[in-house]
A = this chain, B = another copy of it.
Amino acid sequence: MKLRSLRSPALAALLAFVAGTVTHADEGMWLYSAPPRDQIKKKYGFELTDAWLEHLMKSSVRFNSGGSGSFVSGDGLVITNHHVGADDLQKLSDETHNYLKDGFYAATQADEKKCVDLELNVLQSIEDVTQRVNAAIPVGATGETAVLARRKVTAEIEKESLAKTGLRSDVVTLYQGGAYHLYRFKKYTDIRLVFAPEVGVAFFGGDPDNFEYPRYDLDVCFFRVYENGSPVKPANYLKWSVKGAQDGELSFVSGHPGTTRRLLTIPELEYIRDNQFPYQLALLKRREVLLSNWGARDTENARRAREELFGIQNTRKARDGAIAALQDPEFFGAKVAAEAAFKKQLADRADGKDALAAFGRIAEAQKAIAAIVTRQRLLEGMVAFNADSYGLARHLLRAGDERPKPNGERLKEYSDARNDSFEQQLFSDKPIYPDLEILTLSDSLTYLVEQLGVNDPIVKAVLAGKSPRARAAELINTTKVRDVAFRKQLYAGGAAAVTAAKDPLIEVARAVDTEARSLRKVVENADETKQQAQAIIGKARFAIEGAGNYPDATFTLRLSYGPVKGYEEDGKSIPAMTTLAGLYERSAKQGNKGDFELPERWLKKKSALDLSTPFNFVSTADIIGGNSGSPSVNRAGEFIGLIFDGNLASLSGDFGYEDKQARALSVHSAGILESLRKVYEVPALANELVNGKR
């Protein structure tokens, strides 16, 4: 609960940022196409050369499932966080092998285990396509017309690029619609698991210590990328620094921050504070209790629920931190004051009128969303249908309806460019557990009834006269969508096959689909209005503040930087580094129990370890969720650590940057090496890191 004490120091920073100075200190999640060369040169005397940047960019890996990583050997070895790989560990596990809990090591290449449906992307090039996108939108077009026009031109650009280069091609929206860039990725889908430690040390301290510092987590996981049955030989990979991060040294982080909302207007922030986050938190806590309780009934239940439960707890803690920032009158007041100051600057300029009007349109669009969002979340957002089976059922239904349409007119997840990724998801044979599906679907149908009432026509159609529990059991027990062959057959057969199947769960999705689509349209149109308005405001902001800014995070590759550096908290000095000794101390203090219970191997090998080895460290680099697994590198571009978390103070980072207390947390490269050599005794893997090859 130290969450709030950081607000005052953050304040000056935030004010300065929003009101004009653009960036300060080590702020920023920079585009590789517009890196902060001047700032870094000026402050640190270091030159970001094109070669240095290209090497880091092409060594960086995006986990399509939502995370970052990097190549760390010329034989295709990729490092990321255990919690990024956890989803894949879970999918490879079964009732007899729990790789998530017990860890995994492939002693030989033949032992490396192919992941069920993991896709990795490596960015190859960035192209500015803003003009082409904007030109395709009819002058004065708003709402749906503009959405469709943009979707059409975006799909065209992506398809052309894919055809021309063979690379995954995504048009990404930057600066709230101020710019559109075409990102081309080398895409890999044959990814094999090499090494994972036990979750007990990867996530030591569990949810209780999550977002806390000091920390002691070996949150690492290694994969190897294959192509045509053999490991790839990447031209770019990061050299491993054996001594690793040094206190005070400048570090860089290259990764994929997911979302920030630093340039939102006040009505949008108010909506997040008063509606979106409270709503999400209530739902997260509801699901956390549901899964915790079910997991506690039986050890196998616990294994099945673990991964989702972690995600829920993680987001819950982050949202609690964010809402604390937004409810702080000082923090929020600063944002209000900054917007007022900016608006005043606009009012003083001849060309400021459009931007001021744009603020009004955003407020209106936000109201339009608020008016329907309860139903939209339940039906389109599938909050009422919390079961993987339902997601599959709806995909089958919609794919049947969407695929025959022209590419540009489809819902975007069914576009040609996304086809491969979509099919990999749809045909994934990851395990789905009917008992867990019934549990979560029962609960979410109960929530549906609570929200809309028993007499709502949709509720009646969905429940068909049964109780939520009985209906959930019936639907999950009778649907065939958990059978991959059935899904393939329906997908191949299109809408006619889907209709003919009369699958009860697909029929529920159908009963909801008309309203769900129309609600989606309302939100998409409002988002489009906001995006267009944001683009106008963004341009005006550039006109006033000059260039050299960075856009809000969008799960595209970014470069952050800042020194390895401790901080003060409640008058206490928190050093930048922890050591392996600290791990054993924290465990002992909590009785080596629960989330603080060390794997047996760690207890046995304690005496073999150099306990003074650095284990985790913090830097001021500007990161956020999605950066998990990002490499921390030094000036030489060497791997010195692995980003895995932020501290509590960093939870305001969604809305602004501060460097007094907010810190990015990394696993230290020396700590990783010491663990691999002395605890896991896997010299081949350790040597591959040090030598850059097997």
Contacts and interface: CB of A to CB of B under 8 A. Distances in A.
A330 B470 CA distance: 11
A467 B297 contact: no
A1 interface: yes
Interface stretch (A216-224, A341-349, A507-515, A588-596): A588-596
Contacts of A468: 324, 327
Contacts of A298: 590
Interface residues of A, number: 54
A9 interface: no
A299 B591 contact: yes
Nearest to A209: B297
Nearest to A270: B454
Contacts of A293: 207-208, 313, 317
Contact of A285 (B273, B286, B595): B286
Interface in A317-355: 317, 323-324, 327-332
A399 interface: no
Nearest to A463: B329
Given A278-B450, A285-B286, A442 B1 contact: yes
A616 to B, nearest CB: 18
A168 interface: no
A248 interface: no
Nearest to A590: B299
Contacts of A286: 281-282, 285
Number of this chain's copies in the complex: 2
Contacts of A292: 292
Contacts of A454: 273-274, 327, 329, 332
A617 B40 CA distance: 73
A1 B468 CA distance: 11
Contacts of A327: 446, 449, 454, 467-468
A453 interface: yes
B467 A330 contact: yes
Contacts of A4: 467, 469-470
A446 B467 CA distance: 34
Contacts of A595: 296
A453 B278 CA distance: 11
Contacts of A465: 329
A450 to B, nearest CB: 4
Contacts of A591: 299
Which of A324, A329, A446 has most B Cβ within 10 Å? Answer: A329
A296 B208 contact: yes
A467 B7 contact: yes
Contacts of A106: none
A206 interface: yes
Interface in A459-474: 463, 465-470
Contacts of A274: 450, 453-454
A461 to B, nearest CB: 13
Interface string A243-282: 0000000000000000000000000000001100010011
Contacts of A442: 1
A53 interface: no
A316 interface: yes
Contacts of A1: 438-439, 442, 469
Report the 6 A-B pairs with minimum CB-CB distance, sorted nearest first. Answer: A328-B467, A4-B469, A208-B296, A278-B450, A208-B297, A285-B289
12 contacts: A3-B469, A4-B469, A4-B470, A208-B297, A281-B286, A282-B282, A285-B286, A299-B593, A323-B446, A327-B454, A328-B469, A329-B466
Interface of A: 1, 3-4, 7, 206-209, 273-274, 278, 281-282, 285-286, 288-289, 292-293, 296-299, 313, 316-317, 323-324, 327-332, 438-439, 442, 446, 449-450, 453-454, 463, 465-470, 590-591, 593-595
Given A4-B469, A327-B468, 13 more contacts: A1-B439, A3-B469, A207-B296, A208-B293, A278-B450, A282-B285, A285-B286, A289-B316, A298-B590, A324-B446, A324-B469, A327-B446, A329-B466
